[in-house]
Each structure stands twice: as structure tokens, then as C-alpha cells.
Amino acid sequence: MLTLATAQAELLAKTKASQEIASDRAEVLNSGLAANLEMPHPVFIDRGEGPYVYDADDNRYIDTSVGFGLHMLGHVHPVVEQAIQARVPKGWMFGIHSTSQLKLANLVQEGSPCAERVVFCNTGSEATMYAFRAARGYSGRDKIALFDGFYHGAHDYGMWVADPASPRTTPSALPMGHGIPGVLKELTLLLPYRDSHAFDLIRQHKDELALVFVEGVQSSNPQPEVGEFLRELEAVCRASGVLFGVDEVITGFRVAYGGAQERFSINPDLATYGKVIGGGLPVGAITGRAEVMDVFTGLAADRGVFSGGTFSGNPLTMEAGAAVLKHLRDHPEIYVELERRTQRLADAVNAHCESLQLPVQMKHVGSMFHMFFQRETIMSSRDIHGRELSAQKAFYLHCLNAGVLVPGTQRAFLSAAHDDQVVDELIEVFTASFDAVNTEGLFSSAQ
């Protein structure tokens, strides 16, 4: 059984080029990508193929990041490659509206239950920022309600975490890092996730709220039982006269073709998209009821808001995204197989950890999964503790050394390219890595 020290030594020996890149970058490039900074060992990816990525030293890894969830078909899928290659000779950036936009817009509208209208932008962060602006413009109110444990992108209005010292039922917001103007806290109502006290707070603040916004599934806390909470949340918003919005940047076209809306039978006023709908290229989209989306028709419109971006709706992204969505639409068996394989992976990992009485549980919704290093039930982010941090870090380093890449955020995914043989290998690596960590006595609370 490999020790942690041996695994570290092996990684150092086989990632010389990555280490050299890391040293060179330190003098030139600051990286704000937290998931890379948190990797158990620095590796730099050179290429991808199906369920695999290859680093600068040509080491192969099973990739469970798949572009932070965006590659539903795996890396360099032929339908996406062909769509990009067909677009390139015609030009890939005009600024002016192109002939490619309507193709993807129609597919998004077809797949999103609430999407009477579609507006494209460049990233998921932009999409949620514009959704907040649209809700404020439409409603004439300024306050946005968000849930503890959320992530809605990197704009100032979404950079809040729950103060751990605040009451669970009435969480107080703290800025996520410096540079967030304190005055914006007054425009944010933080709600307890999967807790009925959130409904009381919405009713109490209904006259101030422009929007209640929630992830279809929290990527940091993928709980399959969230549907009942989402449906009641929608009903409370309707009764309170407050817009209900769903962040489908990660869940859209991933947990089902119709995203969380389809999976949990909800129908929001606004929904945001990113990741999957771009086919691997930068994209964001805001969708929703026509009445609300009319604010995007120009500043001269009634309650009109500004939106724009040089690269918004660029033809290269539109063609790649349309190729992916059409393929997913025409092959519904992809979702059936992803569901089955992710369930098999979770069942095997959970059974192994239970047999050894290890404080680990894998949670998943559809093909997105996350491992929590604790036995305690998790309702919201307030329940997640870090008492097994040493064991967790050791586990992910063993996985990387054994050829499985899990993103630094530990928010992981399978793609259609992760077939049963790949899932078998994942199970083997995960269970062997748990065994190595357990044998070395790194679990502080193992029984």
C-alpha cells in the first residue's frame, strides 16, 4: 500500500514539465482560478480526449472535472469538432449579430421550460449578473435573496458567504474576500438553504425583493432530495409577488435535458445558463418569461436595462453549442446511462466506506457528484465541517497519482465518454485511495 510520502514522490518524479511551468508562471501570471490553486499537486493540461486529459508530461488522467461540468459528451467530441471546423472558414467573430445565434437560441428555448425569450452573453457570471439587473429593472426593487452555500459567479452582487457566527435560520452575509463594497450587503438577503424559515423571510421582505434566486442543485452540495424545497419555494414566491429565478449554469442540460426545471418540475420567471450550452466555448444565457425578458429590448423600452458584450453570441460558440444540444436532444439515452453509471459509482464508494466505517459519503444528482468527508447529515453548507481535511487532501493526492483528476473544488462530473470500463477504474482508484489513507491512520474519526 502506497504511503502519502511515496505518492508525493512519484508525482514529483513524473510531472517535471508541470513543475517547470509552475515555476515559470509564478514570475508572470497570477491565476485567479481557485480550483487550480487548490489541486493536491500542480499539473498543467495539454490536451483532452474523451474521458481523459493529458498533462504537460503526457501523463493520462481520467478527468472528472470535464471543464467544470461543461463537456457533456467528453473532450473533443466529433460533433463539436466538426461544428467548429465548419464555422472557422466563414469567420468566427463579427460583433454584429450572426446567422448562428438563432440556431442555439431555438434549442435552448426548446429545452428550457421557462425560456420564452433568450439573451446570450459570455459567461455564467455575466448571465446571473444580468438576471439580477433584469429582475431589478422589471420589479423596481433592489434587494436580491440568495441562499447560504450558493455560487452564482464572480460579480460583486454574488460574492457573499454566511457568517458562521450568525443564526442558522437567519444567516448574515459576509463578503467573499476583499474588494466587495460593504454597501452591497444592504441589497442582499441571505436565506437558509433547505429550511422552511427561508419562506418566512421571503414573506417578511416581499415588498423589498426583486428576485429570489437559487441554484437548481447546489454544486457544492448536490442533494437529490431538493425538489420538494424548490417547488415550495416557487409557490411562496408566487404568493408573495416576488420573481423566482433558477441558476442552471451547471444543472442546465446536465441533470436532465430540461435541467433542474425538468427534473424537479419547477417553472421559474428567470433562468440562467452557461457551461453545457457552449459546447466547450465561453457562453452564458439569460432566459425567462417574455414579460420579464422584455427589459432586454433596449433602454428605450419600458423598464429597459443595458446588456451587451463584444463576444456575446459569437458564431463559433453558437455553432459548438448547437451541435451539443442537438446531439443530446437526439440521444436521450445519454442521460439514462449517465444516471446509471453515476449511481453505480456512488453505490460502490458509499458501500466501501461504510464497510470500513470511514467518515465519507458521496452525494450525487444525475451525473454531478461530490464526496463529503463526514458522517453527519448535510442539509446546507452550514453542516459541512473540515475535521477530516488531512485525510481529504491525502485521498485526492493518491487519486491524482493513480491517474484520476478531481478538480480542486471536488465538484465532479461524468460525461457520456465515461463508459462502464472507465467507471470501473474510478471505483478501483477511489476505493484503493481510501484504503491507503485509512491504513496510514489519516482519518481522525474512523472507527
Q: Which residues are identified as catalytic? A: 151, 247, 275
Could you tell me where the DSSP H helices lie in 96-164? 101-111, 124-139
Task: Report how many helices (DSSP H) and strands (DSSP E) the chain contains, helices first.
Answer: 15, 16
The answer to whether residues 151 and 219 touch, using CB atoms and an 8 Å cutoff, is: yes
Return d(Cα 160, Cα 180) in angstroms, integer: 9
Indicate the residue type of 443. Answer: F
Residue position matching grid coordinates 461504510: 354
The answer to whether residues 193 and 380 touch, using CB atoms and an 8 Å cutoff, is: yes
Indicate the residue type of 70. Answer: L
Return d(Cα 114, Cα 117) in angstroms, integer: 9
Polymer length in residues for the chain: 447
Q: Looking at the DSSP assignment, which residues form a beta bridge with residue 189?
A: 145
Return d(Cα 155, Cα 188) in angstroms, integer: 13
The answer to whether residues 130 and 123 touch, using CB atoms and an 8 Å cutoff, is: no
Return d(Cα 93, Cα 97) in angstroms, integer: 10
